[in-house]
Amino acid sequence: MIDFISAEFSNICKKAIEKFSNNLQTPKEDVTFTFNLNENNEVSYRLFKDFKFEKELTFMEILGVRIDFKGYSMLVPPFIQKSLIGFCDEYKIQPNKVNVMVLLVQEKICLVLFNDTEQVKQIKLDDLLKT
């Protein structure tokens, strides 16, 4: 089951980067987005172009849909939230400083854990979606 979820999540992220790349009229390699915790420890999403903040996103924008018939918008964010909180505990990161950057490297989704602007480590999708 985790293989299916990982493949589907990677596909969604890749399509999102491609869509944002087209919207921003910039190469895919220059577009990233992050998963962060806001002041209420809820997941927030941010879009970057050339590592410069562009705008806040919704999960629906990442999914690229107006109506989420598959229910991903209800299922995935709690997993991401729990993982971000877990990363805070494991790596001694303040919740308002933790973020996971999603980027495209050689046509594959890459996830990198950050403590504010300091890279902590590259993570696997399984780490982000662990229960």
- What pLDDT is attached to residue 124? 85
d(CA 90, CA 104): 26
> Helix H segments across 37-71?
59-63
Summarised one tens digit per residue, pLDDT across range 3-42 is: 777 788 899 999 999 999 999 999 999 999 999 999 999 9
**Residues 97-120: what's their mean pLDDT?**
95
Strand, helix or coil for residue 39: coil
What average pLDDT does the segment 98-118 reach? Answer: 95
**pLDDT value of position 1:** 55
Residue 129 confidence (pLDDT) above 80:
no
Euclidean distance between CA atoms 3 and 62, whole angstroms: 20
Look at residue 99 in the predicted model and tell me its pLDDT.
95
Q: Provide the residue ranges of all domains of the chain, joining segments of one domain with +.
A: 2-128
pLDDT tens-digit readout, 89-104:
999 999 999 999 999 9
Confidence of residue 126 (pLDDT cuts 50, 70, 90): confident
44 versus 127: the higher-pLDDT residue is 44
Q: How many CB atoms lie within 10 A of CB 120?
A: 17
Q: Round to whole Å and give the CA distance between 117 and 127.
A: 20
**Residue 7, pLDDT score:** 83
> Considering only CA atoms, which of 55, 57, 34, 53 is closest in space to residue 112?
34
Q: Which residue has the tokens 């979606």?
A: 129
Q: Which residues pair with 53 in a beta bridge?
A: 48
Average pLDDT for 97-122: 95
Angle (CA) 97 20 25, round 5°: 120
In this prediction, residues 100-112 reach a mean pLDDT of 94
